[in-house]
Amino acid sequence: MSKLALIIEDDEDLANIFAEALRRVGYDVENVTDGKAAQERIRADSVPFLVLLDMHLPHISGKDLLIEMKKGERFSNTWIMITTADARLAEDFRDQVDFAMIKPILFGQLRDLAARLKPKDQI
Amino acid sequence: MNYLERLITISTADPNDARKRKILNILLAGTGAVSIVAIILSVYLLTTGQQQAAEINIILWGSIAMFVGILIIYAINYYYSGRVAASLFLIFLSLIFTFSDTTEQVSNGRALFVFTIPIFMASILISPASSFLFAGIISAIISWLARSIGLEPNYPAIIGFFLIAFVSWLSARSLEQALGELSIINVNLDRVVAERTQALAESLSRERIEAGRNQAILNSIADGVIVFDKNWNATLANPAIRGMLDIPIELVVQKNFRELIEHPRLAPRSRGLLLAMIEHGTQPIGFRIEWSEKTISVSAAQVYDNQRQNIGTVIVFRDFTREAEVERLKSTFVGIVSHELRTPLNAILGYAEMFKETVYGPMNEKQVNMADRIIKNTQRLLGLINDLLDQAQMEAGKLTINAQVVKTADLLESLHGLMDKSASDKSLKLTSEIDPDLPDAFTGDPARLQQILVNLVNNAIKFTEHGSIHVRLFRHDDNNWGMEVSDTGQGIPKSEIPFIFDTFRQVDGAATRSHGGFGLGLSIVKQLVTLMNGEIKARSKLTEGSTFIITLPLIIPEGISTKWRDT
């Protein structure tokens, strides 16, 4: 069964690159480019295996989305990876997420990292 | 008493003359009193009829004549001349003495001695030498009286009069001399006192002008100034403080610093800063406090007197609201720029990588090569942006050190991960070693240490064409550890070494173009090292290579072997 990755990223090009990198290593990819749409998506039934969350988003910030995901148990088995260009912001959230990635994020880097991820409940 | 004093005192320019005239007045008053008593007594005797009326009448009229004479002499003394009055008085006195007894007694007998009185007085009242004049006059009188009754003049008495005149002259003269000297001394003293008074007045007025000028300067300063004594009581404040803190000066002066900082407009965090300043006696230059809506920069300086004794503190408050706003905008701007620049560069990098990784189908060698050049140039651009952002953050004082546990081996491992490719791309060897004395872990900021190493190695790769780059982590001494990066590159001219850590500087201006970069790398390293309380030194020999040595304080977390003492 292929793993679902949810990419929450408002920059179309970056979203494309991230999606391509993840597809390369067998992920199914869903893409949302807006905070509001992202909120609706994370409230929907299917819980992704991996979430790539940009911290700068229109309408609803990445921080608020992160708080919502961390609230219940639904996302406890999901790998959460935040992406930001702000090194300080990454530092601030490092303890709350699985990966805090500072842009630029390389194609190969994301691909290799995503390839190594195993289901959380099997670790 | 005052009235009497005024009656006998005559004010003239010559104090000596005034003194003589005053003595004459006293004598006149005495004689006048005697004549009044005589008049009253005569009138009493005439009314009671106890004595012969003719004799008493003579005494009465004589006393009245004497009183009138005294009044005339007093008037002359008061309004005209002391000398004339004194001469008249003494002649008058001599005449009274002449007719006070029988001619025989006056010329030769018991009444002779009374004539010494006018002789002596003349020396005091008129002039020292006038005693001789009166000795002569009196000698003539007694000689005439003696001859009138057929006797020889009394020569021994005449000699005696002249001797008394001589003694009077001597004593009066020395008295006048002494008084004269005294008056000269007095005049000098007066002059000195006048000069001193003048000097004092001038210095006082100078001080007043000086104080006024200082006050004017203080008043015209746009910054708020409060002067505290050594017990932190405010003694002085300038008007600008009113506008800045929006409270009247009266509420500032005479208040203690601790009272002032209780003001509700002061933000709690700022109160803590100010309290720390007085409790620890440390005065950081220009820290900031929040007062209502304002940001105020505070600078404090201790004041010392001539003996180097601390007599208080001057605190200058500067309205920093606008600058703080600009800084906030700048920081926001930097944040936006960093995000807006990095995102498209990330996209370029990502697409180029995808070409290279043949995501969009097979590529020939030349195409892969081009993708590589795109990646490399984009990475360079990203490096520059990172440098600029770090520099901007450092200038804003925003760059901080996050102390965590750093694993020594991790530092080198991630360095190799990041830099091996750049080195091998230039056919350079990147080698490293860890001094066995260095603990396995210590406290530091791993990201910033990594940044220092990456910058130094990057720099070494940039300026080395052949050979190798060697990184060594070592134990410097009990309390310090170090990082050393050496290369076999072109080296740095000795004259340039002092400047290599300056912002925007490369040894050769042209190098900026051939090697890339603004010359910010070393400047950032230096600032980071300083921020970590460490030191950086550079050693270099032209054409043989350069070595950068950094020493940093070694803090070993609990539970980690220090190694140093174990061996």
B383-405 pLDDT, tens digit per residue, is 788 777 777 777 766 666 777 88
What value does the mean pLDDT take over residues A48-55?
94
- B360: pLDDT strictly greater than 90: no
Instruction: Establish whether the linkage from the previous residue to B239 is cis, with ω within 30° of 0.
Output: no
**Do B234 and B254 touch, CB atoms closer than 8 A?**
yes
Contacts of A27 (CB under 8 A, 6+ apart): A2, A3, A4, A5, A49, A50, A114
For residues B329-344, average pLDDT: 79
**How many angstroms away from the CA of A52 is the closest CA of chain B?**
15
How far apart CA B115 and CA B121 sit, in angstroms, is 10
CA distance B463 to B488: 9
pLDDT tens digits, residue range B51-61? 677 778 888 88
Q: Which tokens is A85 given? A: 């260009």
B152 close to B114: Cβ distance less than 8 angstroms: no
Helical packing angle, B155-220 and B116-125, nearest 10°:
30
What is the rounded average pLDDT of the residues B32-36?
Answer: 89
Residue A121: how many CB atoms within 10 A of its CB?
Answer: 7
Task: Look at the pTM and tell me if it is higher than 0.90.
Answer: no
- Give dist(CA A66, CA A83) in Å, integer: 12
Query: CB of B215 within 8 A of CB of B238?
Result: no
Do A14 and B338 lie within an 8 Å CB cutoff? Answer: no
Place of tokens 């803090």: B555
Q: How does residue B196 score in pLDDT terms, banded at 50, 70 and 90?
A: very high
pLDDT digits (tens, 9 = 90+) for B155-182: 888 898 899 899 999 998 898 888 888 8
**Which residues in chain B (328-347) have CB-CB distances under 8 A to chain A?**
335, 338-339, 342-347
Contact B339, A85 (CB under 8 A): yes
CA atoms within 13 A on the CB side of B311: 9
**B404 near B443, Cβ under 8 Å?**
yes
Cis geometry, peptide bond prior to residue A104 (ω within 30 degrees of 0): yes
- Tokens representing B507 are 């040894």
- pLDDT value at residue A16: 93
**How many residues in total does chain A contain?**
123
Q: Which of A10, A14, A16, A17 to mutate to test the interface with B (most CBs of B within 10 A)?
A: A17
Distance CA B322, CA B188 (A): 67
Could you tell me how many CB contacts below 8 A there are between chain A and chain B? 54
Confidence bin at A1 (pLDDT 50/70/90): low
> Which of A14, A21, A104 lies at the smallest CB-CB distance from B382?
A104
Rounded to the nearest angstrom, the minimum Cα separation between B333 and chain A is 13
Q: Span B424-441, mean pLDDT?
A: 91
Place of tokens 């003589």: B20
Separation of alpha carbons B346 and B378, rounded Å: 8
Average pLDDT over chain B, rounded to an integer = 84
- State pLDDT tens for residues B238-273: 888 888 888 888 878 888 888 888 888 888 888 888
Average pLDDT over residues A1-11: 89
Say whether pLDDT at A120 is over 80.
Answer: yes
pLDDT at residue B565 tops 60: no
CB B23 within 8 A of CB B124: yes
Distance from the Cα of A45 to chain B's closest Cα (Å) equals: 31
Residue B548: which residues within 8 A CB-CB, separation 6 or more? B456, B484, B485, B486, B525, B536, B537, B538
C-alpha B132/C-alpha B142 separation (Å) is 15
Query: Is the separation of the CB atoms in A46 and A70 below 8 Å?
Result: no
Q: Dihedral sign, CA of B103, B106, B107, B109?
A: positive
- Please tell me the predicted confidence (pLDDT) of residue B283: 52
pLDDT of residue B513: 39
Give the chain A residue whose CA is nearest to the CA of B332.
A86
- Long-range contacts (CB closer than 8 Å, 24 or more residues apart) made by B156-159: B157/B108, B157/B112
Q: Which residues 376-435 in chain B show a CB within 8 A of chain A?
A: 382, 402
Q: Evaluate if residue A14 carries a pLDDT over 90.
A: yes
Tell me whether A115 touches chain B (CB under 8 Å). Answer: no
pLDDT at B516: 45
Q: List the 51-90 stretch of A: residues with Cβ below 8 A of B.
A: 56, 85-87
pLDDT at B514: 42
Q: Which residue has the tokens 């406290």?
A: B443
* Cβ neighbourhood burial of B151 (10 Å; 0-12, 13-18, 19+): middle
Nearest chain B alpha carbon to A104: B346
Pairwise CB contact (< 8 Å): B349 & A56: no
Question: Cβ atoms within 10 A of the Cβ of B527, count?
Answer: 20
| Window from A14-23, B188-197, B199-208, B505-514 with minimum mean pLDDT | B505-514
As a dihedral over the C-alpha atoms of residue A42, residue A47, residue A51, residue A55, rounded to 10 degrees, the angle is 20
Question: Which chain A residues are Cβ-neighbours of B343 within 8 angstroms?
Answer: 11, 14, 85, 103
Predicted confidence (pLDDT) at residue B337 exceeds the cutoff of 80: no
Residues of B in contact with A56 (CB under 8 A): 339
* H/E element, B167: helix B155-220
Query: Once rounded to an integer, what is the mean pLDDT over residues B285-309?
Result: 83
Tokens of B68: 């009138």
Q: Parallel, antiparallel, or unpaired for β B535-541 and B545-553? A: antiparallel
Q: What percent of chain B has pLDDT over 70?
A: 93
Q: Residue B128 pLDDT > 60, yes or no?
A: yes
Cβ within 8 Å, pair B349-A107:
yes
Which comes out higher in pLDDT, residue B335 or A57?
A57
User: Alpha-carbon distance B317 to B225, whole Å?
Assistant: 6
Highest mean pLDDT among A8-12, B92-96, B495-499: A8-12
Chain B contact set for A100 (CB, 8 A): none
Q: Pairing relation of β-strands A50-54 and A79-84? A: parallel
Per the structure block, which two tokens stand in for B105?
């007694």
* pLDDT, tens only, A59-114: 899 999 999 999 888 899 999 999 988 777 887 888 889 998 888 888 988 998 99
- The β-bridge relationship of strands B234-237 and A27-32 is unpaired
Nearest residue of B to residue A21, measured between CA atoms: B354
pLDDT at B105: 75
Considering just the CA atoms, what is the radius of gyration of chain A in Å?
13
Chain B residues lying within 8 Å of A21, measured CB to CB: 350
What local confidence, expressed as pLDDT, does residue B563 receive?
A: 64
Give the contacts of B260 (CB within 8 A, at least 6 positions apart).
B234, B252
**Inter-chain contact B338–A106, Cβ cutoff 8 Å?**
no
pLDDT digits (tens, 9 = 90+) for B488-517: 998 888 888 888 887 665 545 444 434 444
Lowest mean pLDDT among B2-6, B64-68, B140-144, B191-195: B2-6
Interchain contact, B353 vs A107, CB within 8 Å: yes
**Phi and psi torsions of A29, nearest 5°:** -120, 135
CB A41, CB A25: distance < 8 Å: no
- Residues paired with B288 in a beta bridge: B297
ipTM above 0.90, yes or no: no
Q: According to the model, what pLDDT value does residue A82 have?
A: 94
Rounded to whole angstroms, how far apart are CA atoms B502 and A1? 57
Tokens representing residue A88 in the block: 């300080």
Mean per-residue pLDDT, B209-224:
86
Contacts of B526 (CB under 8 A, 6+ apart): B501, B536
Q: Cβ contact (<8 Å) for A56 and B345?
A: no
Alpha helices in B76-154 (DSSP H): 82-98, 103-108, 116-125, 130-148
Q: Looking at per-residue confidence, does B389 or B535 come out higher?
A: B535
Q: Residues B426-454, buried b or exposed e (16+ Cβ, 10 A)?
A: eebebebebeeebbebbebbbebbbbbbb
Distance CA B11, CA B22 (A): 9
Check pLDDT > 70 for residue B140: yes
- And the tokens for B474? 């070592």
The two most distant CA atoms of chain B are separated, in Å, by 178
